[in-house]
């Protein structure tokens, strides 16, 4: 009887874990926060809606802070990513690039964020950024490899360029030419959806193991 009760309890706990919504924190800067957009139009909200429409039980928390750098994200990591988080979508580095922060500083901060999240058994999806060509070839050569190399070194789900499909398109960006409109966000979400599903699959695998 005790053995049967134990098996039932374990099975019940596994079922509850499978049913619990996957909690994702979207850790980023103004591109993630939804600069000048209503909360419902920002990437986390649109992405959650798209995933739920496909039948995924997810909750995505918007932890984007306008103006934040990779180092800033590291400094607030503990309170931005609370206990109980299953996965993080990491989007930082655009402000580092715009401010011409030494690429090695950006790389070190991102690497430490990833290491700390992995130590907490939190799955990570890294969103890449690319340097503007006008910053010069030396900076571009040092900055652009940061993301694919970190993704490869840590075995992460990797979305190569967060602004893929909207960069430099005036129809999909606000007047500043840097931040997407709600329509631009919709393009981002559509393109990154398959990689986000890959991230969710990792979480589901961990829960089932």
Half-sphere exposure in the Cβ direction for 198 (13 Å, CA): 14
C-alpha to C-alpha distances, 77 to 62, 87, 116, 187, 188, nearest whole angstrom: 13, 13, 9, 28, 24
Number of H helices, E strands in the chain: 10, 5
Residue of 71, 86, 96, 179 marked catalytic: 179
Residue 13 known to be catalytic: no
Residue 179 known to be catalytic: yes
Euclidean distance between CA atoms 12 and 17, whole angstroms: 9
Give 43-49 contacts, CB < 8 A, sequence gap 24+: 43/185, 43/188, 43/189, 46/185, 46/186, 46/189, 47/189, 47/192, 47/193, 47/196
Residue 30 known to be catalytic: yes
Residue of 83, 138, 176, 209 marked catalytic: 176
Residue of 30, 71, 80, 96 marked catalytic: 30
Contact status, residue 126 vs residue 158, Cβ threshold 8 Å: yes
In this structure, what are the phi and psi dihedrals at residue 201, rounded to the nearest 5 degrees?
Answer: -60, -35
Catalytic residues: 30, 176, 179
């Amino acid at each position: 009887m005790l053995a049967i009760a134990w098996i039932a309890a374990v099975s019940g706990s596994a079922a509850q874990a499978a049913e619990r919504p996957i909690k994702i924190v979207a850790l980023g800067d103004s591109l993630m926060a939804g600069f000048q957009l209503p909360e419902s139009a920002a990437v986390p909200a649109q992405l959650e809606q798209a995933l739920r429409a496909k039948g995924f039980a997810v909750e995505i928390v918007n932890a984007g802070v306008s103006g934040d750098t990779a180092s800033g994200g590291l400094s607030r990591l503990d309170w931005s990513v609370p206990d109980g988080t299953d996965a993080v979508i990491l989007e930082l580095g655009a402000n580092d690039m715009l401010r011409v922060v030494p690429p090695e500083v950006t790389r070190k901060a991102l690497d430490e964020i990833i290491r700390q999240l992995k130590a907490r058994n939190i799955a990570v999806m890294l969103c890449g950024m690319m340097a503007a060509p006008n910053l010069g070839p030396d900076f571009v050569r040092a900055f652009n490899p940061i993301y694919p190399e970190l993704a490869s070194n840590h075995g992460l789900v990797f979305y190569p360029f967060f602004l893929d499909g909207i960069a430099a398109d005036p129809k999909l960006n606000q007047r500043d030419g840097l931040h997407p409109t709600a329509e631009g966000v919709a393009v981002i979400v559509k393109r990154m959806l398959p990689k986000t599903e890959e991230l969710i699959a990792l979480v589901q695998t961990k829960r089932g193991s």
